[in-house]
Amino acid sequence: MDAADLPDEVPHPARPGLMLRLVHHHAGDAPVNFRCDGCREPGEGTRCASANLVLHTHCALATPTLQHPLVRGTLQLRRHVASDGDLFCQACYGDVLGLHKTSKGEYPDLHPCCAKLPVSITVRGGLTFELREEVSRRCSSCRAMEGYWSPWCYRSTNEPRVYLHVKCIKEIMPVLFGGGGGGGVGEVLLVLMRVVAGLLLGDPTAPLLAVNLIFPSNW
């Protein structure tokens, strides 16, 4: 969703009666970092806020249900409660501490931002990356092969195929936004990383870095 399309006020997705106001991050302003009170993940820039709460725009606008091409069944939006125990996000392998998408307590759980990641990203230069749940080659960032673990990753559709875990993009976010490089990865991968990292942080300008994005069906 483009920043200009965001509503000025939205109801909190899990707290009836609580309204959240859109707080813009205009180009040129220093982006404001925050910790989302919905999903407990880091955010940056444009956000939805009340007097005491701040949420990613994608958490504030999270739909109650989601169909995702990588997930069987329907994902439901729910809050993490103590009886859930330890949950982790299947896409990024990070801890799930707040709002998340789940298919009735069964595999997998997903952060709202991870559930919303594009299933296809075409970056400048024409390379297209597809979101996958399993890979057969090494990740360009961590160089790890799949074993018993399988965090989601982006795979280039062109040969030679390139793989990048969502987890690894997330880990490199502070470097990406601190003006540094991307740990020696190529320029195209750096653009992919910036798009994905920007979307995870809720930066509505991030999609502009890509030529084409395809999102999960009904988001």
- Residue ranges binding Zn ion (CB under 5 A): 36, 38-39, 56, 59, 89, 91-92, 94, 111, 114, 139, 141-142, 165, 168
177 CB burial (10 A radius; 0-12, 13-18, 19+): middle
Q: Which is nearer to Zn ion, 25 or 56 (CB)?
A: 56
Chain center to CA of 102: 15
Minimum distance from residue 77 beta carbon to Zn ion (Å) = 11
Spatial neighbors of 51 by CB under 8 A, at least 6 apart, are none
**How many other CB atoms are there within 10 angstroms of residue 170's CB atom?**
25
Minimum distance from residue 139 beta carbon to Zn ion (Å) = 3
Minimum distance from residue 140 beta carbon to Zn ion (Å) = 7
Minimum distance from residue 196 beta carbon to Zn ion (Å) = 11
- Residue 201's φ and ψ, nearest 5 degrees, are -80, -10
Q: Which is nearer to Zn ion, 128 or 141 (CB)?
A: 141
Can you tell me whether residue 169 is helix, strand or coil?
helix
In the chain, which ranges are continuous DSSP H helix? 57-60, 112-115, 166-171, 173-176, 187-201
Q: Which is nearer to Zn ion, 98 or 207 (CB)?
A: 98
Can you tell me whether residue 173 is helix, strand or coil?
helix
Q: Which is nearer to Zn ion, 20 or 123 (CB)?
A: 20
Q: Which is nearer to Zn ion, 91 or 209 (CB)?
A: 91
Minimum distance from residue 73 beta carbon to Zn ion (Å) = 18
